[in-house]
């Protein structure tokens, strides 16, 4: 996967289209990413126990598919695709627009 935890991404489709936020976690087996303050869903939770859990409406973030986000370059501040450069020090992710190293 080309997107890693901590990357800044822009949402391309869905109800949060156009928003820019940070990746909290990556789920490679499901090809999904969890992005902060994106794809917020409400869940109605029933009260359990006497005073342990009050219940109510809980808002939480749900993962979105990796194809619906695009990484934002820190140098040019634009959504971009990622290319790889192989050097002696290792494989590095680079911005396709401005050619700066993202790692």
What would the pLDDT profile of 47-80 be if each residue is shown by its tens digit?
887 767 788 999 999 999 999 999 999 999 999 9
The 10s digit of each residue's pLDDT in 24-55 is 999 999 999 999 999 999 999 988 877 677 88
Contacts from 93-97 at CB under 8 Å and sequence distance 24+?
Answer: 93/2, 97/73
User: Which domains, ranges and CATH numbers included, belong to the chain?
Assistant: 8-72 (2.30.30.30), 76-103 (no CATH)
The reported pTM is 0.86
Contact (CB, 8 A) for 19 and 38: yes
């Amino acid at each position: 996967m080309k997107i890693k935890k901590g990357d800044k991404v822009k949402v391309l489709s869905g109800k949060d289209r156009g928003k820019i936020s940070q990746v909290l976690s990556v789920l490679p087996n499901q090809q999904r990413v969890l992005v902060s303050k994106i794809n917020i869903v409400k869940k109605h939770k029933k009260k359990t126990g006497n005073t342990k859990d009050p219940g109510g409406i809980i808002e939480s973030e749900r993962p979105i598919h990796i194809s619906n986000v695009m990484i934002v370059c820190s140098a040019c501040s634009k959504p971009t695709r990622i290319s790889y450069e192989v050097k002696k020090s290792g494989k590095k992710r680079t911005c396709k627009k401005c050619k700066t190293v993202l790692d």
